[in-house]
Structure 1
Amino acid sequence: MISRRAILAGGVATPGLLSVARAATSPPSASELTAPPTVLGAALSPNGAQLAVLHVEHAGEGLKAYVLLQDVNKPKGQPTVVLIGDYDVQKIQWANDERLLIWVNIHKELDGTPTRLRFGDLYFDAPKQRILSMNLDGSESALLFGQEELLLREFDLATVVDTLPEDPNLILMQAWDGQKLRYMLYKVDVRTGAVAAFERGEPSTYGWFTQNGVPVVRFDSNRRGTVVSLFTRAPGAKDWTLYRKLRRDEMRRFSDLEIVGATTEPGILLASSQRENDDGHVLRRFDLNTLELGETVASRPERDIVDVFQDDRGKLLAAVVAEDRRDYVFFEPALKASFEQLSTVFKHDVNLTFVDVSLDHRRFVLHTSSPTDPGSYWFYDAAGFLSLLGQAYPWLNGRLAPMSILKLKARDGLDLTAYLTLPANATGPCPLIVYPHGGPELRDNYSFDVFTQAFAAKGWAVLQVNFRGSGGYGRAFADAGRKRWGVEMQNDIEDALATVLSSGKIDRNRIAICGASYGGYAALMGAVKTPDAYRAVVSIAGVTHLDDFIASVRREDGADAPSYQYWLKTIGDPVADKALLASSSPALRAREIRAPVLLIHGAADSVVPVEQSKTMSRALKAAGRSAKYVQMDWVGHRGWDRFTLTSILTQAADHIAKAFA
């Protein structure tokens, strides 16, 4: 039996924020949806004795950051407030049982001038990322790398590679060495911030994976970050060995093999991989000595294993499964039982993530989220106690639109999953936004989404479809989308739309389609295939001309690169599949589009060239169609800041609203 109790007084939010959250019933604005959180994280000390929750209050341009610390063995005691001050804090973690690490962004130099990055003759405001270390009471604070004058000019001094549990006063970090022009690994003393060089990478190295504090995997990248060379080094070996080259997708994950954890056995890692005969991504042992993928540790039929949950000593507790809601394969019966109890408490309506665990596996920090909850932190004790530590966005309480999961069949009988979000308190047929995801080998799930909620706040329903070719559903489902861009993949979206229209909940005269990346392509192709279905189209960083896109990948990465080979397999060969590529390119069929089109693209996009949207804009104008092209300077394909995201949301909503009027 799980009971609830309050552990951290004031841990949910300040009284003022709570009163605002209760009083506000109107749908949130775009700026409210993109506003920064006020609770940024929670962490449990390795021994399970101390809880730390990181808060920040915003007052105009000022910030008040603080940590609430609680002795878990004294739940009725008042928490200790450790004031950090006017810092742009980001996250929190324990270095050991007595020392906290707090990530901060620094926006001003010591003389008060803004921190800036230089590109040629231009300067742009950009924060410096640092880590602050302190004792439980906030004393003896130290800025890591704080005494290294040659490194202090670098912007990222906040990347921890290994917390080195066997040496609690040291952690392993990486930082760019501006003199050697490469990343270096350093051992950093969490008490003083002092560093000692440990290992250096190659000029193309961007990261490492370690086992027992020793780097055993190294990642080297091409210029665009689309192809990664994975090097390995077995325990005791001196030289690195190139294992293979991998394609990295737009979410910076590897499509074929992902190192997700280390075991307690020297030289044995855990990898999410898909071999030729595998149904999907399974969890396997990876032997650094033989470079062989070994026995399957965890799998789920027609679903992918995407991550693992381990304690600080590397003991494997669970494997993460891609599902509508986050799910697990457990390796401890007691943890499985706790998860089932917790799922019941939360009415099977949240994504439940294990954030931290004590070494005795009795106490946990949990994170929950759902379409109507952008994120909450909880403390759980296996004795049956559950308590709320804080909500990341309390001002959104009771203001978000609910989502339902739809199971349907495509016209050829393939099973599909879709998600329908209806505006809160909807009373009649609603306008609808069809919102296909990117990738295309990504997927939507039952979760909070900024675009979905921004559209729902306008009174519009939102339909998201995991069409064939989406990730997470195993090999056969992904392969069903190969070379089917604009064909069966688009049919799946149309079939889901037909299913929703048959419910009577949608105003069929006011439907728009909007997406980013592959979703932007699908939005344009939807307007080509079913021009009468949509009143407006929004494509954000979308592919528009398939032949040109494939040619750009070959030009940038090379004909033998796994990225180029992937797109040949996924989209089609420019020679053998010439007709298919032409018929599936919206830029070559612009005349068939009737709805007004908004094209948004970042000029610094390294995944989909900005020329793709420029080509589409020219084609639409040449065809006499309504088109608006917005280019956002210095904006990339992903990782948009809140101001860029708010601008994109606002422009997309305004374009659609005008068409719906």
Structure 2
Amino acid sequence: RHRRQPCQRHPGQIALIGPFEGLQKVAIYDLASSAPPQIVGMKAANAGMLYWKSDTMLIAVFHANVGGADSRLLDASTRAYAVDTATKKAALLMHDAPSFESNHGGGAVVDLDASDPAHVYLTETDLWDSKQLLDLYSVELASGNAHLVLHGEPGTIAFFTDGFGKVLGRLDQDWDLTDHVVMGGQDVYSYKVKGVDDFCILGLTADGVFAVRKPSASGTMGLYAWTPQAGIARALFEDERYDLAQVIRDERTGRIVGVTWIDDRPRARYFDTRLQHVQDAMEKAFPGQSVEIQSHDAAGAHYVISTDGPKNPPVFSLYTVANSRVDIVQEAYPGLKSQDLGDVRAYPYKARDGQAIQAYLTLPPGKAARDLPLVIFPHGGPESRSSLRFDWWGQYMATRGYAVLQPNYRGSSGYGRDFVRAGDGVWETKVQSDLQDGIDKLVAEGVADPRKICIVGGSYGGYLALAGASFSPHLYRCAESFAGISDLDRLVDEGTTFQSEAASVWRRRIGADREPGKLESASPVRFADKVTIPVLLIHSEKDATIPIQQSRLEDEALRRAGKQAELVVLDGDDHYLEFAATRTRLLTETERFLAKNLGSGR
């Protein structure tokens, strides 16, 4: 299956990423030919991002999680190649940069330079320099050779460029997490970070004005035009109920041309009328589905779009404007049909303290909504959210006969800053009761059988599953954690420092910045003796986001306490489950575990 976004470019080539010979590689198709695609791959690495530089020049960024077999922590390494699709030659970019061989960040493309067909801009931290400064390079595509453009200063974390190779300034960060916008050698604006998302420069608009993300008057995150001299000039997007989700960038200049947000479904709005016309036409053609413009040619004659809905697996298609034709390029799950999948609907409820919670309920196909075995399926993040779109894991459980509830508990993103912060420091208490209150409503309505409830989650959702087993075991018959967090103290400590932005964010979210001992009191690994239900732990061996040690520690603690625990290690994959084989293993282990503890739902 092709998980990531394809890119399309005149005169009739499409590049997309998919599984080939055990790795994620790039397949370049000539739409005018029936010949097999040109395959571009890198040994022991997966393709992750694609950029078309010209009609025949593609930049492909590959990534791998590296580290010794016994390392507790892995690091994400990136490399970028320039691929000439006409000559079928590829050049490794930045290969001659000072510390390229030792540096894991050699694939940081920051500016495609739409004015120069022969060069792009990348950044690299010079590890051999005692100051380890972030430097900006102009890189020749034909050879991959790097030419230093600008040294950063101590604390530089980013450069601002205009999409045409012009450096506008840089962003420096102090030890106390104060960010400084530096232009013309002058500090023109400063703001505190400390894990509080009150101000963030996201880039330039099409007319060259800075766009910043900040809270609106209603507390939701909006997008605003901004200058260092005058401050906020105007609102580009704001909604009194929902946050800005992402900005949409022009694929050639990187400038911001639109925004997305989520009510129950993902929505998109473009500042460019031509792009908005295409978005409107595709939403009309695919009612009830989410539509994204993934790529288009320079003339605006052809567009690659993706569509998906709660019962519609993702499909990538080519839209031709001249004849309004839509041709399927790739189906992510060609074997799945909407009529075989579970119905999904919004399921709002009130938490016990009156907090409104929006959730989504998937019902098993062909079964009455009565006395069903239930899986509570909290999302990861925690600053993420569930929505009405295709969920492969949730639908798999539903097609096995289980009702699936996905609550946007307090701390979820999308509903404003106050709702996000309402989750800080209450991971093991109010967040858990938010889940319980959704269960109680389903039980009261007769939809769920209170004797057959399991909690399943991944990443932060995996933490919630382990916390449920540790702090609320009476609610559940079983708990499954994929890549979950068990030891919060270790999570904050490993790979960070107390003053780092990452550590600051985690300490605030957990509540450790206000309550001594919180890292310990909210860690499931310290309460293994309280667990009374079977626990399934699944973790990818090459996970660089949440180290596999988190699951190993929980497994050891549960076994020492004489509890029912099982650890399944997924070989060769990472936190995001890029391969069909490991996703299939996850699903089959989930089905086995649920059937054993809840009974077969079919």
Fold similarity call, TM over 0.5:
yes
Equivalent in the alignment of 2:442: 500
1:606 and 1:228 map into 2 onto residues whose CA distance is 24
Please give the per-residue CA displacement for 1:525-559, whole angstroms capped at 9, x wherever unaligned: 3345553432111234444566x469x4599422x
CA 130–408 in structure 1, closer or farther in 2 if over 3 Å, else same: closer
* Inter-CA distance 495–314: structure 2 relative to 1 (3 Å threshold): same
- What is the match of residue 420 of structure 2? 478
Shift of 1:474: 0.8
1:490-540 C-alpha deviation (Å, 9 max, x unpaired):
222122223334555545433211223332232233345553432111234
Which of 175, 181, 190 in structure 2 is aligned with 1:232? 181
Alignment of 1:11-410 (within 5 A): 36-37=1-2, 41-44=6-9, 49-54=10-15, 66-70=27-31, 78-79=32-33, 83-85=37-39, 87=41, 92-96=50-54, 98-103=55-60, 129-134=79-84, 138-139=86-87, 141-145=89-93, 148=96, 153=101, 157-175=106-124, 179-180=128-129, 184-191=135-142, 193-201=144-152, 208-211=159-162, 212-216=164-168, 218=170, 230-234=179-183, 237-238=184-185, 243-244=190-191, 246=193, 255-264=197-206, 268-274=209-215, 277-288=217-228, 292-311=231-250, 312=252, 316-332=256-272, 335-336=275-276, 338-348=278-288, 350-357=289-296, 364-380=303-319, 385-398=324-337, 401-410=341-350
Q: Do 2:194 and 2:504's aligned partners in 1 also have CA atoms closer than 8 Å?
A: no
TM-superposed deviation, 1:262: 0.7
- Alpha-carbon contact 2:189-2:228 (below 8 Å) kept: no
Instruction: Kindly indicate whether the alpha-carbon contact (under 8 Å) linking 2:29 and 2:38 is maintained by their aligned counterparts in 1.
Output: no
CA offset at residue 465 of structure 1?
0.7
- Mapping of 1:460-471 within 5 angstroms? 460-471=402-413
Q: For the Cα contact (< 8 Å) 1:220–1:228, is it kept in 2?
A: no
1:398–1:659 CA distance, 2 compared to 1 (3 A): same
TM norm structure 2 = 0.79
Cα distance in 2, alignment partners of residues 92 and 609 from structure 1: 27
- Aligned residue in 2 for 1:660: 598
Partners of 2:75 and 2:161 lie apart in 1 by 34
Shift of the alpha carbon at 1:610? 6.8
Secondary structure of the 2:390 match is coil
Deviates more, 1:461-470 or 1:485-494: 485-494
Given that 1:159 and 1:174 are in contact with CA atoms closer than 8 Å, whether structure 2 keeps it comes out as: yes
Aligned mates of 2:431, 2:466 — CA distance in 1: 13
Q: Is the 8 A contact 1:357 1:363 kept in 2?
A: yes
Q: CA–CA distance in 2 between the matches of 1:222 and 1:346?
A: 48
Tell me how far 1:325 sits from its aligned partner: 1.7
User: 5+ residue gaps in structure 1?
Assistant: 1-35, 71-77, 108-114, 249-253
Aligned pair in 2 of structure 1 residues 644, 283: CA closer, same or farther (>3 Å)? same
Partner SS for 1:557: coil
TM (normalized to structure 1)? Answer: 0.73
- Correspondent of 2:531 among 568, 576, 593: 593
Is this contact kept in 2: 1:468–1:489, CA < 8 A? yes
The alpha-carbon distance between structure 1 residues 197 and 595, as it changes in their structure 2 partners (threshold 3 A), is: same
- The 8 Å contact of residues 410 and 431 in structure 2, kept in 1 or not, is answered as yes
Q: What do the CA deviations read for 1:322-381 (whole angstroms, capped 9, x no partner)?
A: 332211344355654543442232122x22112234566665332223344443223335
Q: CA RMSD in A?
A: 4.7
Q: Which has the higher contact order (CA 8 A, sep 6+)?
A: 1
2: CA distance between counterparts of 1:346 and 1:238? 50
Give the distance between the partners of 1:68 and 1:382, measured in 2 at CA: 20
Task: Report the AA paired with residue 84 of structure 1.
Answer: Q
For residues 95 and 546 of structure 2, the distance between their equivalents in structure 1, rounded to whole angstroms, comes to 41
Distance 1:581 1:126, change over 3 A: closer
Cα separation, 1, equivalents of 2:34 and 2:495: 58
Cα deviations by residue, 1:425-453 (Å, 9 ceiling, x for unpaired):
44676533211122322211223334324
Measure the CA separation in 2 of the matches of 1:201 and 1:362: 41
Determine if contact 1:303/1:323 at 8 Å carries over to the other structure. Answer: yes
Say whether the 8 Å CA contact 2:342–2:395 is kept in structure 1: no
> How high is the sequence identity, in percent, across the aligned residues?
25
The one-letter amino acid paired with 2:82 is L
Q: Distance in 1 between matches of 2:137 and 2:374?
A: 52
- Residue 634 of structure 1, CA deviation: 9.7
Code of the aligned partner of 1:418: A
- Tell me if structure 2 keeps the 8 A contact 1:549–1:608: no
Kept in 1, the 8 Å contact 2:119–2:141? The answer is yes
Q: Is the 8 A contact 1:599 1:627 kept in 2?
A: yes
Q: How many residues align?
A: 586
Cα offset, 1:647, TM superposition: 5.1
For 1:616 and 1:38, how far apart are their aligned partners in 2?
Answer: 31
CA distance in structure 1 between the aligned counterparts of 2:275 and 2:19, rounded to whole angstroms: 38
Aligned equivalents of 1:200, 1:82: Cα separation in 2: 44
Secondary structure of the residue that 2:475 maps to in structure 1? Answer: coil
Alpha-carbon shift at residue 51 of structure 1 (Å): 3.8
**Equivalent residue of 1:471, what SS?**
coil
In the aligned structure 2, how far is the partner of 1:215 from the partner of 1:474? 33
Match of 2:380 in 1: 438
Residues 625/219 of structure 1: CA separation in 2 closer, same or farther (3 Å cut): farther
CA contact 1:171–1:190 (8 Å) conserved in 2: yes
- Residue deviations 1:467-486, cap 9 Å, x none? 12211111232233333333
Counterpart CA distance in 2 for 1:149 and 1:639 is 30
Deviation at residue 222 of structure 1 after TM alignment:
11
Q: Which one is further off, 138-147 or 148-157?
A: 148-157
Q: What SS does the aligned partner of 1:523 have?
A: helix
Partner of 1:627: 565
User: 1:630-641 maps to which residues of 2 (within 5 A)?
Assistant: 638-641=575-578
Instruction: Go from structure 1 to structure 2 and tell me whether the alpha carbon gap of 1:566 and 1:390 turns closer, same or farther (over 3 Å shift).
Output: same
Question: Which residue number in structure 1 is paired with residue 390 of structure 2?
Answer: 448
